[in-house]
Amino acid sequence: MNQVEIFKALANKTRLQILNWLKEPAENFPDQANADFENIGVCVGQIQIKAGLSQSTISEYLSILQRADLVSATRVGQWTYYKRNKEGIEKLSKIINSEL
């Protein structure tokens, strides 16, 4: 994934918020709180409700974040759970410290 695509993914208020919410999923998505919730992530519907945009928009935003390696997805049954991708975010941090 190239650097410009990463920054484009971050250049949107809602997508930044989602990433920020996923940093503390238990606090930000109390409705979905359950056992392996921290491991698996948060499902699209919960994120959509919180963001207040349409389902299609949020689905697309999540895939933009995923293509930028900022989140990862796991399908379980009819749900897709998204969570923060620590590695991708660390890589971004390194880009900023070494190239900017």
Partner DNA sequence: AATATATATCGACTTTTCCCGATATACCAA
Partner DNA sequence: TTGGTATATCGGGAAAAGTCGATATATATT
Residues that bind a copy of itself in the complex, under the rule CB under 8 A? 3-4, 7-8, 10-13, 16, 19-20, 23, 70, 84, 89, 92-93, 96-97, 99-100
- In angstroms, the Cα distances linking 81 to 9, 17, 95 are 19, 17, 27
Select 35 or 100, whichever has its Cβ closest to a copy of itself.
100
β pairing state of 71-76 and 42-43: unpaired
Select 44 or 71, whichever has its Cβ closest to a copy of itself.
71
Q: Candidates 10-18, 19-27, 88-96 — which segment interacts with DNA by CB under 7 A?
A: 10-18
Instruction: For the segment 13-52, give every residue that binds DNA (CB under 7 A).
Output: 13-14, 43-45, 48
Question: Token pair for residue 6?
Answer: 């990463």
Select 22 or 90, whichever has its Cβ closest to DNA.
22
- The CA distance from 28 to 98, in Å, is 32
Q: CA geometry: angle at 33 spanning 53 and 77, to 5°?
A: 75
